[in-house]
Amino acid sequence: MSLFKKEEKKIFHIDRLPEEMKVAIKTLIDSSIPDVAKAYGFDYLYPKLGEPIFIPYGRLDGKYKSTIDAFEKILEEVEELKDNLKEYSKWYGNVKLFDHYRFTFYSYVDPNEGMKVGIGADPLSSPNSLFDVQSLCSALDKGKSIIILNPALSGYISSTCLSSFNIKFVDTISKRKDEIIDAYTWLNKSFHENFDKDKVYDVELGREYMDRLFNVILSEVRNYSTESKEGDIAILPLLSYEEYGEKESIKGVLQNDEKYKKYIDEGRLDEISLIPILFSGSLKELNEIKDKYSKVIVISDKKIRIKIDGNVKQLNDKILVIENAKS
């Protein structure tokens, strides 16, 4: 082992990197699709101090055959720093971390080496912190079969109190994977063409990274997935009050809905969330199923704004329980 630290080239701007690396970084930053993570009960963690996994631009200099080749170099650098993930465990406790990351621009001043500029890599984790799962578990019955009607709680099942119940979820998202990736690809490509002076977005790499996120998530939750809605108790996670047309594509909603059109026309990509589209129709589903189970539990990440007739118990402002709904 060398006793001397390898000299690292000083690069302070992304434009000084090889074109393949520059395009790869910009593409990855726009392809983390956190809405998909949220839709499965996962999340990307935010560092509470600095960036535990920080890659200076100087370590990304070199010659690359393609953006995919540049991406592989970034993953190599992340691999060398993975021991630093223990910082997230200190900050967030017993969340589960996955080998998939949201990339961000990051810079800081090192007291010995001066300005350091590069990218940070923040890990995917589960569960997220949207739902009051402890209160939810208090309303469940051991020995009863439980079905979650969408995937919003799937990231909670293996590592929370839900693991002690006979529970499955219906995956309403994965069947739309290609449509979701197509919509994000169109959004990102349109944004870079209209608002990025360099007009750089690598469609192939973007698709590969979005597909990679799906693969990581689905490999974690697939053992709890089912196509059947049969069960004694139903849980309906409520993340959207929207009612878009059932046959309208995601891209069609983005192009035709006035709110989305405004965000797109103004280049406000960071304000666009597909969650209202992906969970559209939840209220209609509630009306259809509320009498089909012995108990229906509605759980939301926000104060529930609906009125339900019948024998309804409100555990708190985010959880409603419809008792003995099945005759």
pLDDT digits (tens, 9 = 90+) for 108-129: 998 888 899 999 999 999 999 9
Least confident span in 11-25, 91-105, 239-253: 239-253
pLDDT for 83 beyond 60: yes
Q: On the CB side of 21, how many CA atoms lie within 13 Å of its CA?
A: 22
Write the DSSP symbol of residue 162. G
| The last residue of a domain, from among 111, 126, 141 | 126
The answer on 198 and 87 residing in a single domain is: no
**If we measure between CA atoms, which residue out of 14, 39, 15 comes closest to residue 210?**
39
> What is the predicted pLDDT for the residue at 309?
80
Domain residues for the domain of 98 are: 14-126
* Element spanning 188, H or E: helix 177-195
Torsion sign, CA atoms 124, 77, 114, 9? negative
User: Within a 13 Å sphere around the CA of 189, how many CA atoms are in the beta-carbon half?
Assistant: 13
Residue ending a domain, among 126, 156, 185, is 126
Domain boundary among 72, 105, 126: 126
Phi, psi of 10 (to 5 degrees): -85, 115
Q: Looking at the 3D structure of the chain, how many domains does it have?
A: 2
In what order do the strands lie in the sheet containing 319-323?
225-226, 166-170, 145-148, 233-238, 295-300, 319-323, 312-316
pLDDT at 7: 60
Average pLDDT over the chain reads 93
Q: Does 111 share its domain with 188?
A: no
Quick: pLDDT tens for 145-163: 999 999 999 999 999 999 9
Residue 245 reports pLDDT greater than 60: yes
pLDDT over 80 at 3, yes or no: no
Q: How far apart are CA 170 and CA 148, in angstroms?
A: 6
Same domain (yes/no): 112, 200: no
Point out which residues pair with 168 in neighbouring strands.
147
The verdict on 202 and 280 lying in the same domain is yes
Mean per-residue pLDDT for 7-36? 92
Q: What is the pLDDT of residue 1?
A: 37
Q: Is residue 9 in a domain?
A: no
pLDDT above 80 for 298: yes
Provide Rg for the chain, Cα atoms. 22
Spatial neighbors of 20 by CB under 8 A, at least 6 apart, are 64, 65, 66, 67, 69, 70
Based on the fold, state whether residues 194 and 316 are members of the same structural domain: yes
Average pLDDT over residues 131-150: 96
Paired tokens of 244: 């878009």
> Residue 237 and residue 256: Cα distance in Å, rounded?
27
Q: Residue 173's pLDDT is what? A: 96
Asked whether the CA dihedral 242, 246, 247, 250 is positive or negative, the reply is positive
Residues 80 and 163 in one domain: no
pLDDT at 12: 87
Q: Are residues 119 and 227 in the same domain?
A: no
| Same domain membership, residue 231 and residue 255 | yes
Tell whether omega for the bond before 18 is within 30 degrees of 0, i.e. cis.
Answer: no
- The answer to whether residue 299 is domain-embedded is yes
Instruction: Judge if 147 and 252 occupy the same domain.
Output: yes
- Token pair, residue 186, equals 């169109």
Task: Write out pLDDT tens, residues 161-220.
Answer: 999 999 999 999 999 999 999 999 999 999 988 888 878 899 999 999 999 999 999 999
